[in-house]
Each structure stands twice: as structure tokens, then as C-alpha cells.
Amino acid sequence: MNQAKHIAIIMDGNGRWAELKGQKRVKGHEAGAEVVRDVTKYCAAHKDIERLTLYAFSTENWKRPRLEVEFLMKLLEKYLKNELSTYVENNIRFEPIGDIRAFSKSLQKTISEVQKKTEHCDGLVQSLALNYGSKDELLRAVNTIKGSEQDITEEMLLNALDCSHDVDLLIRTGGDHRISNFLLWQLAYAELFFCDTLWPDFSSGELEMIIKEFKKIERRFGGLK
């Protein structure tokens, strides 16, 4: 039976959720942050799940309205500060991926502090993809190793990526069927699940149902069995 050791989620639909309720888009992001906590704690309680990688802010998200971006930055910093106790109490290690150098010094400091204060945790690893784009990740990895005198190998490239762990299960909420520049290398043999549920309405119960469906799939990785 398949094990969803590494689950990745594209958390889509926050803004649309709020608009459908006649609220400002930022209310959707606030509601979505609550779901992040619920899903993360669920994964932490299931020892067969080793990693949870969440697409929180992409390299393309800077194109959004300035006020929305500013709100997202404040929400992220608030979330990390508030969730530190949740991480520690649930033995969760926080490992960001992406290029955080574009963020404010204050936010960079908070990200680093939470990472440092949870590095002793040996349960679930929760990664937030922050200012992350897979094309950017690959370019940074290539630039890291391009001075090598030997031919670049798959292992060298993998070790230079932000995330060196293959994804077993990718979930995208919100109804769209695309992967939006997320973990292109790591998704090579992942099983992809797309659901219409907007992220603020997603729950650990729906995640559990998806995992059950995932476990029924025959994964051949290019072979016959």
C-alpha cells in the first residue's frame, strides 16, 4: 500500500472564498491560515506522513495589488510567531523553501528564528514555500553548481535544490488543474489530486479521504509493476 510520506498542497481559493461571501480578499487569507494549522496538526499526528510542503507565496504573487501583498507579509509574520508553540508542542520542524531575501528584514528574522527554535523537532517537517517558484529554484541550483569541473549529475542538482525530497501526493484546491510552477522537479512521479473545494473550506477530513484514494493507486514509476 502506498504511503504519502511527502504531501504538497497548492492552497488555492482564498480570495474567491472571501469574494463569494461579500468580504475583502484578505479575509480569505485569514481563514486559510486557520486551515493550515488544522491540516498541519493532522499530518503531525500521522507518523507515516513525514513532510508537508505548502505553497504559501510564489515568485509570481508579487504581481498582486500592493495592499494585498503587504497584508500577506504581515499575516505570514503573525502566523509564524503565533504558531511557534504549535510547532514545538506537536514536534514539528519548520523548514522554509524559496528565496526569502526579498522579504523585509523583520520577516526574514522571524522566519529564521522559527526555523532555529524548531530544529530539534524530529516529527513532521512543515515547509512553507515563500517567494518560491520552481523555475527560480532550478536556476539558483544550477548557478550554485555551474563552476564544477565535472559533469553535473542528478544527485548534484538535487542536493542544490531548496527541497531535495520527492513528492508522493500533490493536492490543489480551488478547482484549477495546473501546478503553477510548484516543485516541478520533485513532482516527477507524484500523484496529482485536484479538488473544487476552496482552501478556507478544506479540512483534515477531506485530506484523509484523498489519502485513502491515493493509497489505492498502483504506482509504477515508469516500470510495469
State the catalytic residues: 12, 61
Phi, psi of 11 (to 5 degrees): -90, 85
The residue type of 55 is Y
Q: Distance between alpha carbon 222 and the CA centroid of its chain, in Å?
A: 26
**Could you tell me the CA-to-CA distances from 102 to 57, 94, 182, 201, 207 in Å, in that order?**
12, 19, 18, 30, 32
CB 131 within 8 A of CB 100: yes
Q: In the numeric block, which cell numbers belong to residue 205?
A: 477530513
Pairing state between β 169-172 and 191-194:
parallel
- 189: number of CA atoms within 13 Å, CB side? 11
Q: How many residues does the chain have?
A: 225
